[in-house]
Every structure is written in structure tokens, then in C-alpha cells.
């Protein structure tokens, strides 16, 4: 414990950001070196510099695809938040709703999305709607289960206090249950954010959609058919960067919402 306190706080923060950056830089430099030294052909493993060059050359078309993937990801996440939270509140209000619907949610969760996606694509005409539904199915469960646990985790004495002052169910929900559930909900959101991106990409792979209104997965498929491996890597890089950005975004959100009070965001 004492050793951790040797570095002053500012230095530690700086190091925290610098260390992963250095690791990634070393990784990419090593990759570049291997490709150049052994003259690996670009259709097997393109050098990072070539991947960046390809990204720059195809920036317009890749960005349009990126934007489509972003729309599916955040659209599905938004619907997952709405559906998950609403259902969790219903679970908290009625044991019967929970008993009857929770198994269904579990079935959706444990069935691999790649197995359901073809069916969904058959049943639903609009590809966009089908992709949204696939991504939603993956993102929905962590929000639902975390929020449901969170709503049940309010301090028992505080519950008694609310009963003592004869708080209405609405007041109890608003002033006690929702704030108590917030750390759980945010944890679910962090998981769901990454999952909805994965869901959006996986569903598009299964759909194998072509045309203008398609996302990064279609670019990856397309490039692999044409053995444009550098372009594949460029699209893959965009997917990874998007995933990292989503992760950082929700970490920031967690700090903003919980930083003032919750242990998970305390800085000592």
C-alpha cells in the first residue's frame, strides 16, 4: 500500500496515460520492423504505415461506413437502455413480471447472436431494423440484469426511513431506488456499450449486406473478397478505435455521475 503512495498524484496520472501509449507504440513499431525486415507481402500482413496510408486514401467511403456502424451501435444501445431500465423497474414493482419475463431475457442472452441473426434477417425486411434488433439483443441483457440488481440493493435502513415518512412508491423510486441502482446501471452500460458495437458488426457480417447504406463489417467482408488486406486492416482499426472510444466515453460518464460519492470511482 505504502509503495503506491510514493509517487505524487499528478505523476501517477501522467504515468497511467503514458504507459499504455508506450506499449502500443512499441507493438506497432515491432510490427512495422518485422514486416520490413522479412519483406512480408502486404496481402498477408500489411505494415501499420500501409494500413494508415490505406485509411487515408479511402477515408471518405470508410467514414460513411463508420457513421452507419455508429448509428446502429448507439441506436441499439439507446433502445437497450430504454428497454432494460423499463423492464428492470417493472421487475422491481412486481415479482410476477420478473418471474414470467426473466427466463425469456435469459434465453435471448444465452443464444449466440450469430445463430439468431440469419432468422432475424429473414423475418425482418429492413436490413437496418434487423441489424438494430441483433445489436439490441446483445446489449439489452447486461443493462436489464444490472439495473434489476441495483434496484434491489437499496440500504434496508434507508428503506425503513422512507416508510417511516410514508413516502409514495414514486418518491421511493426517484429518491432512493434510482440513485442506489445508478452504480450498477453504469456498470451494465459499460458492458453493453462494447457489446452493442460487437452486435452491430457481427450482425452485419451475417447479413452480408452490400450497397451504400452499410457499415464497417461490410467493408471488411468486401475487402477480404477482393484480397485488399490493407483495407481490411484499416476498417478493423476503425472498429477497434470506436470500441476504445466507447469504453473511454462510459468511463468518463461513470466518473461524472459517481465520482462524488461511489467507492468504484473514488480516487485515493
Partner 1 sequence: MGSPPPLLTLAHLEKRYGAKKGPGTLALQDMLLEVGAHDFVSLLGPSGCGKSTALKMIAGLLPPTAGRIDWPAGAPSADGTGFVFQEPTLMPWATVFDNVWLPLRLQGLARDAARGRIKAALAGVGLEDFAEAMPRELSGGMKMRVSIARALVTRPRLLLMDEPFGALDEITRGRLNDDTLALWGEHGFTAIFVTHSVFEAVYLSRRIVVMAARPGRVLAEISIDEPYPRSADFRHTARYGAWCAEVSEALSVAEAAHG
Binding-site ranges for partner 1 (CB under 8 A): 155, 157-158, 160-167, 171, 175-176, 179, 182, 260-262, 266
First to last CA, the chain: 11
Q: How far is the CB of 85 from partner 1 (least distance, A)?
A: 18
Nearer to partner 1, 111 or 264 (CB): 264
Q: From residue 1, how far is each of 5, 7, 11, 44, 262 by CA, in Å?
A: 7, 12, 17, 47, 21
Among the listed residues 127, 147, 91, 102, the one whose alpha carbon sits nearest the alpha carbon of residue 205: 127
Is residue 91 within 8 Å of 83, Cβ to Cβ? no
Q: How far is the CB of 5 from partner 1 (least distance, A)?
A: 19
Nearer to partner 1, 48 or 179 (CB): 179
**Helices H / strands E in the chain, number of each:** 11, 0
Nearer to partner 1, 4 or 268 (CB): 268
Q: How far is the CB of 98 from partner 1 (least distance, A)?
A: 23
Is residue 242 within 8 Å of 70, Cβ to Cβ? yes
Q: How far is the CB of 253 from partner 1 (least distance, A)?
A: 15
Collapsing DSSP to helix, strand or coil, 58 comes out as coil
Q: Which three cell numbers stand for residue 200?
A: 452491430
Nearer to partner 1, 168 or 227 (CB): 168
Nearer to partner 1, 159 or 247 (CB): 159
Q: How far is the CB of 96 from partner 1 (least distance, A)?
A: 21
Amino acid at each position: 500500500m505504502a509503495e503506491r503512495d510514493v509517487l505524487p498524484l499528478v505523476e501517477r496520472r501522467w504515468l497511467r496515460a503514458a504507459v499504455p501509449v508506450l506499449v502500443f507504440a512499441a507493438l506497432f513499431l515491432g510490427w512495422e520492423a518485422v514486416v520490413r525486415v522479412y519483406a512480408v507481402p502486404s496481402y498477408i500482413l500489411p505494415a501499420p504505415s500501409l494500413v494508415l496510408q490505406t485509411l487515408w486514401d479511402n477515408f471518405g467511403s470508410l467514414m460513411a461506413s463508420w457513421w452507419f456502424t455508429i448509428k446502429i451501435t448507439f441506436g441499439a444501445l439507446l433502445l437497450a437502455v430504454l428497454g432494460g431500465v423499463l423492464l428492470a423497474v417493472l421487475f422491481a414493482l412486481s415479482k410476477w413480471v420478473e418471474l414470467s419475463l426473466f427466463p425469456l431475457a435469459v434465453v435471448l442472452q444465452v443464444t449466440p447472436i450469430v445463430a439468431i441473426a440469419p432468422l432475424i434477417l429473414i423475418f425482418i425486411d429492413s436490413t437496418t431494423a434487423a441489424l438494430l434488433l441483433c445489436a439490441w439483443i446483445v446489449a439489452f441483457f447486461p443493462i436489464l440484469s444490472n439495473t434489476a440488481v441495483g434496484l434491489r440493493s437499496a440500504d434496508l435502513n434507508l428503506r425503513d426511513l422512507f416508510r417511516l415518512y410514508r413516502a409514495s412508491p414514486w418518491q421511493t423510486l426517484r429518491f432512493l431506488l434510482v440513485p442506489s441502482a445508478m452504480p450498477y446501471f453504469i456498470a451494465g452500460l459499460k458492458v453493453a456499450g462494447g457489446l452493442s458495437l460487437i452486435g452491430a458488426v457481427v450482425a452485419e457480417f451475417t447479413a452480408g449486406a452490400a450497397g451504400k447504406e452499410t457499415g464497417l463489417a461490410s467493408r471488411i467482408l468486401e475487402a477480404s473478397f477482393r484480397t485488399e488486406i490493407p483495407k481490411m486492416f484499416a476498417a478493423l482499426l476503425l472498429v477497434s478505435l470506436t470500441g476504445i472510444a466507447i469504453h473511454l466515453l462510459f468511463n468518463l460518464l461513470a466518473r461524472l455521475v459517481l465520482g462524488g460519492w461511489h467507492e468504484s470511482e473514488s480516487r485515493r
